[in-house]
Structure 1
Amino acid sequence: MSSYRSTPLYGGAITCDLPKHFADVSKLRQVPDNQEVWIDKDGFTSIIFEITERVGGPGSGPEIDGRAMTTHLEDMVGSDINTVKIWNTAETEFSRMQELKHPAYTLIATQTPNASHSSDQSSAPDFTALTMTLLRLEEQDTDILITINVPHIRGEYDADEVDLELGKQGKLIGDAVEIAARIWETFVIKDWGLFGESKHH
């Protein structure tokens, strides 16, 4: 179980709990204004918050929101979408924003690099798991994506423990799911003005 601390994001406009052993990447390198990127100091896992323009038509529902998730996933992985497998998608509740009734969904997927590239890169992951949560703020014309990327690098994880076909997530994905759940529980938007300007970036 990680220990967490309440962490201001986007200059404090949003707060949520993040594990203490994650570091703010913007202190190391340039991160786009609409993103917050945090990386595990002891591993390879990263957490990315991204505020983006809402995709898809108006309204809400599994079909509209499901399509939006697919669009965001395709944007994220680009031409590698054929290497991605989605294992499950579920509705998600942001505990402290419940009364606002914003739809949210989370998917768990894995991306396996194309074999042709990986023969010479011994440090390339066998695969990368990701949990992606989409929080839809329709009135703000905004989608918030919270993605936890979990590279599985040979020798750094126990391959016998991971079999998503059988529902076995292994420790790294289990940890990511725990982090995601803590974010859903603690995520609060303190300054809605953050989204007023999002269209002009």
Structure 2
Amino acid sequence: MAFTTRELFGGAITAAASPTLVDASDLRQVPDTQEVLLYPDSSVSIIVEILQRVDAEDDDPAIRYHFGSLAHDNSAQSTVVNAVAVIPNTRGDNTPPAITLSGVQLVPKFNLTTPDQVRVLMALFRVTDKRVDLVVTFNVPTQSQDDGAVGEEGWNKMQIHFDAFIRSLRIVDFGLFV
């Protein structure tokens, strides 16, 4: 898969992403603190969000907090965290290392009785001096009641996309975090 450099927040952040992604702001209103990208052939979404830094000093509780907050916002019936890891920035720029999490949420949709299984890939970039947590979330429905689920093959593909996105993510302009 060939990736292209995607400019986010007016070019203040860049990352390698699929060239087929659709900017959700072309379809609906998106808050200024978010960039939302959609895969046109599934219900997979990428959300890049600028949040106030959580008080947790350690990486593991910080990313678990954001995962729990997402589960709350999604009204998830259950959640599981499969793995937490740190991926260092080896490029030599000032972008902080990525704290990553892989997990699963069972999310009810559209008043259906069977919840969707959404695998979540999350990365947290802690911009300490600006008191900001930059959170990247790939929401990957692997079982759903509609046609948006990607199944196991799609899940494997999304893991590759997530890895490319977060390893290439670069904060170009820290002035974004006022």
Quick one: which of 55, 59, 79 aligns to 1:65?
59
CA distance in 2, matches of 1:55, 1:83: 23
1:172 equivalenced with 2:171 (yes/no): no
1:149 equivalenced with 2:139 (yes/no): yes
Runs (4 or more) in structure 1 with deviation over 3 Å come to 79-82, 98-101, 154-158
1:46 equivalenced with 2:40 (yes/no): no
Quick one: which of 138, 147, 151 aligns to 2:128?
138
Q: Which runs of 5 or more structure 2 residues have no equivalent in the other structure?
A: none
Please state whether the residue corresponding to 1:139 is helix, strand or coil: helix
Q: Please tell me the residue identity of whatever aligns with 2:5.
A: S
Q: Point out the structure with max Rg over C-alpha.
A: 1
**1:164 equivalent in structure 2:** none
- Number of residues of Structure 1 aligned to a counterpart in Structure 2: 173
1:129 equivalenced with 2:129 (yes/no): no
Asked if 2 retains the 8 angstrom alpha-carbon contact of 1:21 and 1:42, the reply is: no
Q: CA separation of 1:99/1:193 partners in 2, compared to 1, >3 Å: closer, same or farther?
A: closer
CA distances 1:78-128 after superposition (whole Å, capped 9, x unpaired): 1745511111111123343x454724211111111369x533x7xx63x01
Map 1:6-21 onto structure 2 (within 5 A).
Answer: 6-21=5-20
Q: Which runs of 5 or more structure 1 residues have no equivalent in the other structure?
A: 159-169
| Higher normalized strand content (fraction of residues) | 2
Q: CA separation of 1:141/1:94 partners in 2, compared to 1, >3 Å: closer, same or farther?
A: same
State the superposition RMSD in angstroms: 2.3
Quick one: which of 84, 88, 94 aligns to 1:93?
88
Cα displacement (A) at 1:157:
4.8
TM-score by length of 2: 0.86
Q: CA separation of 1:113/1:183 partners in 2, compared to 1, >3 Å: closer, same or farther?
A: closer
**1:165 equivalent in structure 2:** none
TM-score by length of 1: 0.77
Please state whether the residue corresponding to 1:112 is helix, strand or coil: strand
| Higher normalized helix content (fraction of residues) | 1
CA distance in 1, matches of 2:50, 2:65: 15
Asked if 1 retains the 8 angstrom alpha-carbon contact of 2:77 and 2:107, the reply is: no
Q: CA separation of 1:104/1:42 partners in 2, compared to 1, >3 Å: closer, same or farther?
A: same
Asked if 2 retains the 8 angstrom alpha-carbon contact of 1:14 and 1:190, the reply is: yes
Asked if 2 retains the 8 angstrom alpha-carbon contact of 1:95 and 1:186, the reply is: no
